[in-house]
């Protein structure tokens, strides 16, 4: 019997830590709803305190949960780095990016509380925390062949060099370059098919 079987319910997992639930959700996506229930209200309050709009805050929180789920397998438990601190860092960076965008579009937004600036990560934050991944990009990647989506994600989203990707994939650097080219073409085609 594995960690979970058909008799395991969400109630059975209540005592598990956020980190354990996140790790399990990679293989059992429906378990991600536990993380969502645990953090949705708090994330929404924090985003709304920054953006001053419930609608904008809801969009940010939805985007944040998308990023957390997309990068669940990248999260590594380290001393002083809990799921909570990781999740809030993604939330703060995403909310700040949205704030900057809204400020340009609307020209009138209240200045950010100085406390918000203090909680933002430095410019050397991990690759995936810098990204503004839209649902659209995620949906395009999901329509692509898995091996091409993986290469594209490693190269453009995670920012890995060709040599590192080659080592991870067990192929030559030349093959990585070819796959990146094919992946870009596949991305373009998938984009067109979604817009058609």
Task: Tell me the pLDDT tens digit for each residue of 116-171.
Answer: 544 444 443 443 444 444 445 666 777 788 888 788 777 776 677 889 889 988 99
Percentages helix, strand, coil for the chain (3-state, rounded to 5) are 70, 0, 25
Q: Flag whether 4 is in a domain.
A: no
Q: Flag whether 160 is in a domain.
A: yes
**Cα–Cα distance measured from residue 154 to residue 168, given in angstroms and rounded to the nearest whole number:** 10
Q: Is 174 a residue whose pLDDT tops 80? A: yes
CATH number at residue 165: 1.10.10.10
The domain boundary residue, chosen from 126, 145, 166: 126
User: Do residues 165 and 92 share a domain?
Assistant: no
Domain range enclosing 151:
135-195
User: Do residues 112 and 77 share a domain?
Assistant: yes
How many structural domains is the chain composed of? 2
Q: Flag whether 100 is in a domain.
A: yes
Give per-residue pLDDT as tens, 8-22: 566 678 789 999 999
Q: Flag whether 73 is in a domain.
A: yes
CATH number at residue 81: 1.10.1740.10
User: Do residues 113 and 140 share a domain?
Assistant: no
User: Do residues 146 and 186 share a domain?
Assistant: yes
Distances (CA, A) of 51 to 57, 70, 115, 171: 6, 24, 14, 45
Does the predicted TM-score (pTM) go above 0.95?
no
User: Do residues 54 and 111 share a domain?
Assistant: yes
């Amino acid at each position: 019997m594995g960690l979970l079987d058909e008799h395991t319910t969400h109630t059975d997992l209540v005592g598990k830590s956020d980190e354990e639930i996140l790790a399990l959700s990679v293989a059992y996506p429906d378990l991600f709803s536990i993380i969502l229930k645990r953090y949705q209200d708090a994330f929404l309050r924090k985003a709304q305190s920054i953006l001053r709009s419930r609608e904008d805050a809801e969009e940010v929180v939805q985007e944040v949960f998308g990023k957390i789920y997309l990068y669940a397998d990248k999260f590594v438990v380290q001393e002083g780095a809990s799921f909570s601190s990781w999740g809030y860092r993604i939330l703060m960076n995403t909310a700040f990016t949205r704030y900057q965008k809204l400020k340009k579009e609307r020209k009138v937004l209240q200045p950010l509380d100085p406390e918000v600036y203090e909680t933002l990560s430095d410019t050397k934050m991990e690759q995936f925390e810098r990204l503004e991944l839209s649902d659209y990009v995620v949906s395009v990647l999901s329509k692509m062949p898995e091996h091409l989506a993986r290469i594209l994600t490693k190269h453009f989203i995670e920012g890995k060099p060709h040599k590192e990707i080659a080592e991870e994939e067990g192929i030559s650097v030349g093959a990585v370059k070819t796959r990146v080219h094919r992946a870009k073409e596949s991305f373009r085609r998938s984009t067109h098919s979604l817009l058609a």
